[in-house]
Amino acid sequence: MYTQLEQRGMDTPPVNISTLRKMKAEKTPIACLTAYDASFAVLVDKADTDLVLVGDSLGMVVQGHDTTVPVTVDDIIYHTKMVRRGLRRAFLVADMPFMSYTTPEQALENAVRLMQEGGAMMIKLEGGSSQIEIVRHLTRHDIPVCAHIGLKPQSVHKIGGFKVQGRDSGQALQMIDDAISLQDAGADIVLLECVPNEVGKAVTRKVEVPVIGIGAGPDVDGQILVLYDALGITQGRLPKFVQNFMESDSGSLAEGCVRYVEAVKNRSYPAPEHCFS
Ligand code: KIV
């Protein structure tokens, strides 16, 4: 475990929300990955990943469920604690699981647990304008918030599958409005999943906070992938936006993480074949 004192002596200081805002302003791509344990957190951090998310995707890639719905607050805390111990530089975000933020009070109580018990620096929740009151309540209590819009995996049973969102113009405009309203309510980051390139570009232009995309095209401020997808660990059919960074040679997992970060930084990922129109 690295202490605050050790971190102060580092050549590259730990990433914080100001670092991420500056990266947006300077058009430096933000490289993000998920992680679920300390060993992978070390690899991801050493690769210079800027932001690490303990995503509720752990329900699928670690626990073996078909969706993220069964994941609990205790599960996220357990994994966030482990990831925290492996990180030195990256900014740590933890997911609020399904039904853990149905009221402002419940959201605050669970967000505080993710930060105090897990060690998260920011929490992520799914939802558009319906979550404004929750985001406002959290940010009024100085809880940093990442708002996840576009495809919301926790709503998979309501949507009817993992599908591209925002293809019709009404839905796209609603998404842009949602991003602005969430920012105005205090969200510090917008995460945009599985939308056409044009929607990714429009949202990124309209808001001042960093926009991190997953299947949202090349014109967002940063990219994120589920770590096990990026390292070719996940079996079966993968979303179109996934690139396996282990594919090109027989290198190590550490090299796979480095290749991902380089590809985001030099904008070779995402390529046209990873994008939606
Ligand atoms: O849970 C998760 O890993 C996520 C990413 C897909 C962004 O939300």
CA distance 34 to 225: 7
Helices (H) and strands (E) in the chain, counts: 12, 8
pLDDT, tens digit, for every residue of 197-241? Answer: 999 999 999 999 999 999 999 999 999 999 999 999 999 989 999
Query: How many angstroms separate the alpha carbon of residue 6 from the centre of ligand 1?
Result: 30
Q: What is the mean pLDDT of the chain?
A: 95
Place of tokens 């926790």: 154
Q: Is the pLDDT of residue 258 over 60?
A: yes
Mean pLDDT of 59-67: 96
Flag the least confident range among 65-69, 212-216, 243-247, 262-266: 243-247
Residue ranges per domain, the chain?
A: 15-274
Sign, CA dihedral 244-248-254-260, equals: negative
Nearest CA to 164 out of 130, 191, 193 is that of 193
Q: Is the pLDDT of residue 101 over 70?
A: yes
Report the CATH architecture of 15-274.
Alpha-Beta Barrel (3.20)
**Helix, strand or coil, per DSSP, at residue 118:** helix
CA distance 43 to 258: 9
- Identify which of 40, 57, 125 to mutate to test ligand 1's pocket (most ligand atoms within 8 A of the CB): 57
Q: Ligand 1: does its nearest atom lie under 6 Å from the Cβ of 97?
A: no
Mean pLDDT of 4-31: 86
Q: Is the pLDDT of residue 105 over 90?
A: yes
Q: Which residue has the higher pLDDT, 161 or 180?
A: 180
